[in-house]
Structure 1
Amino acid sequence: MSLKGKTLFITGASRGIGREIALKAAKDGANIVIAAKTTTEHPKLGGTIHSVAKEIEEAGGHALAIQLDVRDQAAVAAAMKQAAEDFGGIDILINNAGAINLSGVETLDPNRFDLMYQVNTRAVMVCSQAALPYLKQSANPHILSLSPPLNLKESWFAVHSPYTITKYGMSMLTIGMNQEFANYGISVNALWPRTIIATAAIEFSLGGRELFSRARTPAIMADAAYAIINSEKRSITGRLMIDEEILREQGVTDFEQYRVEQSDDELMVDLFVDP
């Protein structure tokens, strides 16, 4: 498997899972568009489109850093055009940008819901639509969104239904686009971690760094994404996958390598995944 010469457009790639996928592809010599909002490093979060671009170049890839708010339809279209002009096309779109708030209907500010909907569900449609003309020209095009399987148990709606709706919207678009874009030969999938991943979202929004002993590194998601976007002729498509699932299909059996810390603590299962 290799992504050499392929062009990846990754939203939200200035840190976390998006950055890890970018660096994995860079080792093959891929062209990578880092499309994210962060141009100045946050004192706590770290990472900008420029710092990741430098890392990509050092890893052997070719980088294009574009400051982008995925809520801005015109800006998304312009970014896709710039990427295609710079690298001669777009082969892979990875919808990684996300917004999270685990409040319920009673307490959630509607403006916050609008933000989650626009960054999660709407951006998948906007980015996929803007990338489509270029993906049609690719020999092996892919759209991969970071969203979960559709688990309709009441427990996943009871506490934070607004967030659940916006993430499930991404997954439903995945199912729909897989059918809609079949004639173009585009593989369309979604990927989600079985366990929590050690990212800034976990550290600063969902429980703190102490949870890292129960988390895996972003590398597991990068390896899973790599396997998906290297598949050919829609051999993997229309699926809402868990990282472990696709890696087991690829023959991976050692998952301890992905733990943040060697610990006796039980790994914490992620949202929307049954234990």
Structure 2
Amino acid sequence: MGLFENRTFFITGASRGIGKAIALKLAGEGANIVIAAKSTEENPKLGGTIFSAAKEVEDAGGKALAVQCDIRNEENIQEAVAKAVAHFGGIDAVINNASAISLTNTETTESKRFDLMHDINVRGTFLVTKHCIPHLLKSGNAHILTLSPPIDLNPKWLGAHIAYTMSKYNMTMMAMGWAEEFKGRNIASNSLWPVTTIATAAVNNLLGGDYLIQRSRTTDIIADAVFYIMQQASGTLTGRQLLDEEILKEAGITDFTHYAVNTANGLQKDLFL
């Protein structure tokens, strides 16, 4: 029997990238995975759909439910949560992975891009979690995990891309707020962020292309960090702004060499670190 047999994980943005890597890692221990994402048809630049991700989850040993869900739409969220509960009987963890990015300054940030980041990163994360909470409260060891950076109010993190930074710091504030709100009620809440850039489609298409990909780590480092976090008792690991290296060291992993896309190159620190 796998470590996560009969445990259900609701993962936003799980059709590709970090979200899918997390899904596959948990699936390897028999987890039920709800793939809540928008993509039903493949975009050649991005790759993957909720259906292809579901097949990979099942091939990895888990059970999958592919649910089209745009987290900007509250009705979509409510329907996705209802389908998850009807299919698997409950929800044990919600992983807030879906996010929008635009590394633009104030003058070059269009209002529609500002709205997109806040609708997905802030409002969407809040509403996904809100609608999962009644089911998390029924779990014996529930987790809320939000993919967002530790808060550092040094002006240099705000000046370069204030709109994006605000949205991501809001996600971390919510993670810390939920830890306090549900203290003693068997729901842990933490944020998690990488120390280095992670090789994703966003990095390849928007941020730095192959040059940055070759100086990144694979999504496996985040997946392994989540794998460890989800094994912990909700009362003992909560209210923390975690970094992937930090939590993996707690898990006894100290050699991160194998996570590098290209060990011949130096690694690029994440933009918030």
Which residue of structure 2 lines up, in the alignment, with residue 99 of structure 1?
A: 100
**TM-score normalised according to structure 1 size:** 0.97
Please give the secondary structure, in 1, of the residue aligned with 2:5.
coil
| Structure 1 CA distance for aligned equivalents of residues 165 and 237 of structure 2 | 25
Structure 1 residue 20 and structure 2 residue 32: aligned?
Answer: no
Query: Any idea what the Cα deviations from partners look like across 1:159-180, whole Å, max 9, x if unmatched?
Result: 1000000000000011111111
What are structure 2's unaligned runs of at least 5 residues?
none
| Structure 2 CA distance for aligned equivalents of residues 184 and 262 of structure 1 | 44
Q: CA RMSD in A?
A: 1.0
Which residue of structure 1 lines up, in the alignment, with residue 113 of structure 2?
A: 112
Please give the secondary structure, in 1, of the residue aligned with 2:228.
helix
Structure 1 residue 271 and structure 2 residue 244: aligned?
Answer: no
Which residue of structure 1 lines up, in the alignment, with residue 260 of structure 2?
A: 259
- Cα shift at 1:262: 2.1
Please give the secondary structure, in 1, of the residue aligned with 2:66.
strand
The one-letter code matched in structure 2 to 1:125 is F
- Cα shift at 1:45: 1.3
The one-letter code matched in structure 2 to 1:120 is N
Which residue of structure 1 lines up, in the alignment, with residue 187 of structure 2?
A: 186
- Cα shift at 1:78: 1.3
**TM-score normalised according to structure 2 size:** 0.98
- Cα shift at 1:183: 3.6
Percent sequence identity is 50
- Cα shift at 1:151: 1.2
The one-letter code matched in structure 2 to 1:252 is I
Which residue of structure 2 lines up, in the alignment, with residue 214 of structure 1?
A: 215
Which residue of structure 1 lines up, in the alignment, with residue 56 of structure 2?
A: 55
**Contact 2:139–2:186 (CA under 8 A) maintained in structure 1:** no
What are structure 1's unaligned runs of at least 5 residues?
none
Which residue of structure 2 lines up, in the alignment, with residue 174 of structure 1?
A: 175
| Structure 1 CA distance for aligned equivalents of residues 24 and 235 of structure 2 | 24
Paired residues, number: 272
The one-letter code matched in structure 2 to 1:248 is K
| Structure 2 CA distance for aligned equivalents of residues 223 and 96 of structure 1 | 15
| Structure 2 CA distance for aligned equivalents of residues 192 and 233 of structure 1 | 19
The one-letter code matched in structure 1 to 2:119 is Q
| Structure 2 CA distance for aligned equivalents of residues 104 and 233 of structure 1 | 38
Please give the secondary structure, in 2, of the residue aligned with 1:174.
helix
